[in-house]
């Protein structure tokens, strides 16, 4: 009797254990839905897709966008690779995977980039976001603006690292597009994603997917990701014989099975892709710069700081330039071009330029005050500055009335008729690069930029490349034409 009475209990326990093993454990292992996409990176053609537009948790694939925005900020002079950054308590407290940053410590930007790209460090990603936009929330908003500009139509970012958060979602298609942009838009940084190890400043870090990098011929990146909600994700790229394939997998069951699936998809891509195809580079988005919180004043505006608005020149003339106006004392590197930002700077620049001007002209008839004598040995203390219309004839008269003094006149493009507008085509890390961009842009848009003056202005964070001496209409037209060619452009109104 005793033995028989225990039999049902045993069978009940066995049944419960079986249910646990067959239902509960497998559900946790396959909780994340599967999605995949394979793309020919050269043309952008999709070679295979499954659930590619389903919005899923991207996990640390998010860091591809974090790094994309950081590369953009460095390229445009917002920050440098060697800028020392102080680590916040918030960044230091992020859960693993992490570099081990301590609150209050400082570290150079380049080391945080390596840690985020190679080790997928969450604390490094948060620190990068705070360094660029001041807070992770503001950085997430910039990530979303950038994603939209890249054509990632079904992606929403809530943080810089990719840890699970409600509404933080993307798709296999969008992440593949992002991986393609990383390769084409920032080739100088792309090698980061193929480094098996890297010096991250405070320690050496190892790539989270070095197995695929070592085992799959031609693999050179890009990014892994894992959370319980996401499963094992990976966006991978490989190149063989001039062909480049990018594949993305969401919802892998394990690192090994995910890698095997990605290898299978890359093989499929190399089989299906044509041997020769015209390279169709994706268009690089227009640089928007830093845009903080603040009210917009019309439908063409985006926030631009407390009480200020940055307006996009593609829609209308800019009321507030993204770039601050020149202040007295800031260095000017120009091609014999006076700053037309304000009267004080105009006088400073013109006085400096006066030493190199040797043209002599007859003073205006209405001028009644005493003027400097002709051909002075030194620059006169009271030099008279005269604005001359570009269409006026400024050729010195051959004959001067006897006894009449001769005045040295400094000429500049007249601001009458509204020729005090300008455009900015970016901020660059060196004077040379800014000058190179100005020349290239002038050649690319000769019709609207003809007659404008190229000027490089040194700032604390880089060198602004400006065209000055334009009318409002010509500046607006030039900006719209340049932006249509995917060239950065903002209008500058010195009177704003």
Buried b (16+ CB within 10 A) or exposed e, 238-256: bbeeebbbbbbbbbbbebe
Other Cβ atoms closer than 10 A to 275: 8
- SS3 of residue 238 by DSSP: strand
Token pair belonging to 415? 């601001």
User: Which are the catalytic amino acids?
Assistant: 60, 63, 120
What does the DSSP 8-state code read for residue 60?
A: G
Give the three-state DSSP class for 184: helix
Question: Which residues 6+ apart lie within 8 Å of 118 measured at CB?
Answer: 192, 195, 197, 198, 200, 205, 206, 207, 208
Q: Identify whether the C-beta of residue 185 lies closer than 8 Å to the C-beta of residue 149.
A: no
Residue whose C-alpha is closest to residue 68's, from 177, 196, 195 = 177
Respond yes or no on whether the N-terminal peptide bond of residue 446 is cis (omega within 30° of 0). no
Q: Which helix H or strand E contains 491, and what residues bound it?
A: strand 490-492
Q: How far apart are CA 81 and CA 228, in angstroms?
A: 33
Cα separation, 80 vs 169, whole angstroms:
30
Residues near 371 by beta carbon (within 8 Å), at least 6 away in sequence: 363, 384, 405, 406, 407
Output the CA angle 404-409-410, nearest 5 degrees: 175
How far is 225 from 208, CA to CA, in rounded Å? 9
Picking from 175, 162, 158, the residue whose alpha carbon sits closest to that of residue 123 is 162
Q: What is the largest CA-CA distance in the chain?
A: 142
CA 326-330-332 angle, to 5 degrees, is 85
* Spatial separation of the C-alpha atoms in residues 110 and 128, rounded to whole Å: 10
Place of tokens 């009210």: 295
Query: CA 223 to CA 262: how far, in whole Å?
Result: 12
CA dihedral over 299, 304, 309, 315, signed as positive or negative: negative
Degrees, nearest 5: CA angle 110-155-28 = 90
Q: Is the peptide bond before 473 cis (omega within 30 degrees of 0)?
A: no
Backbone φ and ψ for 327, nearest 5 degrees, come out as -115, 155
Tell which residue, 204, 201, 202, 209, has the closest CA to residue 59.
209
For tokens 């296999």, the residue is: 172
């Amino acid at each position: 009797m005793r033995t028989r009475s225990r039999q049902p209990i045993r069978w009940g326990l066995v049944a419960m254990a079986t249910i646990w093993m067959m239902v509960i454990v497998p559900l946790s292992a396959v909780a994340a839905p599967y999605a995949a996409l394979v793309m020919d990176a050269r043309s952008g053609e999709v070679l295979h897709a499954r659930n590619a537009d389903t919005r899923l948790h991207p996990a640390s694939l998010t860091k591809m966008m974090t790094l994309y925005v950081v590369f953009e900020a460095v390229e445009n002079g917002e920050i440098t690779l060697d800028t020392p950054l102080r680590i916040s308590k918030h960044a230091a407290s992020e859960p693993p995977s992490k570099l081990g940053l301590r609150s209050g410590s400082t570290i150079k930007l380049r080391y945080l980039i390596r840690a985020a790209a190679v080790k997928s460090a969450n604390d490094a990603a948060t620190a990068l976001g705070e360094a660029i936009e001041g807070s992770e929330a503001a950085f997430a908003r910039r990530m979303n603006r950038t994603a939209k500009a890249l054509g990632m139509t079904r992606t929403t970012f809530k943080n810089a690292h990719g840890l699970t958060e409600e509404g933080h979602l993307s798709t296999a298609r969008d992440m593949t597009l992002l991986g393609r942009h990383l390769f084409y838009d920032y080739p100088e940084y792309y090698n980061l994603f193929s480094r098996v190890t890297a010096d991250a400043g405070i320690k050496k870090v190892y790539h989270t997917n070095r197995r695929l990098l070592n085992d799959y011929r031609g693999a050179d990146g890009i990014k892994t990701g894992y959370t319980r909600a996401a499963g094992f994700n990976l966006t991978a790229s490989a190149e063989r014989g001039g062909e480049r394939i990018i594949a993305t997998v969401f919802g892998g069951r394990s690192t090994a099975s995910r890698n095997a699936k990605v290898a299978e998809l890359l093989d499929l891509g190399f089989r299906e892709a044509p041997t020769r195809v015209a390279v169709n580079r994706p268009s690089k988005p227009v640089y928007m710069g830093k845009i903080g919180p603040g009210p917009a004043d019309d439908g063409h505006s985006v926030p631009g700081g407390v009480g200020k608005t940055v307006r996009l020149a593609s829609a209308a003339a800019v009321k507030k330039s993204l770039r601050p106006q020149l202040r007295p004392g800031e260095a000017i590197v120009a091609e014999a071009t006076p700053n037309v930002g304000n009267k004080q700077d105009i006088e400073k620049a013109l006085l400096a330029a006066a030493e190199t001007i040797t043209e002599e002209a007859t003073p205006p008839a209405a001028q009644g005050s005493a003027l400097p004598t002709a051909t002075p040995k030194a620059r006169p203390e009271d030099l008279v500055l005269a604005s001359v219309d570009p269409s006026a004839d400024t050729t010195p008269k051959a004959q001067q009335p006897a006894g009449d003094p001769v005045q040295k006149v400094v000429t500049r493009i007249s601001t009458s008729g509204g020729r005090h507008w300008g455009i900015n085509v970016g901020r660059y890390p060196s004077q040379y690069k800014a000058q190179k961009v100005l020349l290239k842009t002038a050649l690319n848009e000769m019709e609207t930029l003809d007659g404008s003056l190229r000027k490089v202005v040194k700032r604390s964070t880089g060198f602004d490349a400006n065209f000055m001496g334009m009318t409002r209409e010509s500046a607006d037209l030039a900006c719209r034409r340049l932006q249509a060619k995917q060239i950065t452009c903002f209008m500058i109104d010195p009177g704003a």
